[in-house]
Amino acid sequence: MTLSDYVKRRNGVPLGNSDSLSNMLNRSLGAGKFSIFWQYWNPIWGYYLGKYIFKPLKFIFPSALSLIITFVVCGFIHDLAIMLLKLKFTLLLTPWFLFMGLSVILGDYAKIDYSRFPWMARAVINILVISSCLLIAYQVRI
């Protein structure tokens, strides 16, 4: 699948469309499961993480572990960009993404589904999960 096909599938509009951002936000925040949130969030970044990190890892590790490692790599890439800008070693986003990856796995394992709730309730739940993971990451940051 090409990047253009992937973005259109996730956003419902072609790559570069003026509605791309609003569709991404509406679909991701309104997701009825935290794992579905990540299917819609930042489809360009998700395409490359899936293609070059997650899929190769699945040949070596179980899917759940591959997903967690992919989240950690993603967080580290974000941290690396901050470290290069600040010229200082710091890890906040790596543990944050680790906890979000664990939330995806645990949410699916526990079959947590809030898709019957109104869009606003789903958005609040997704933001609370993300925020909770950030608060935990602040407690363990390096």
Using CB atoms within 10 Å of the CB of residue 13, give its burial: 0 to 12 exposed, 13 to 18 middle, 19+ buried.
middle
Mean pLDDT of all residues in 107-115: 98
**Has residue 92 got a pLDDT over 80?**
yes
Q: What is the pTM of this model?
A: 0.94
- Residue of 30, 36, 40 whose CA lies nearest to 127: 30
**Has residue 1 got a pLDDT over 80?**
yes
Q: Within 13 Å and on the Cβ side, how many CA atoms surround 125?
A: 22
- Residue of 89, 18, 11 whose CA lies nearest to 45: 11
Mean pLDDT of all residues in 30-45: 96
Question: Rounded mean pLDDT of the chain?
Answer: 96
**Has residue 141 got a pLDDT over 80?**
no
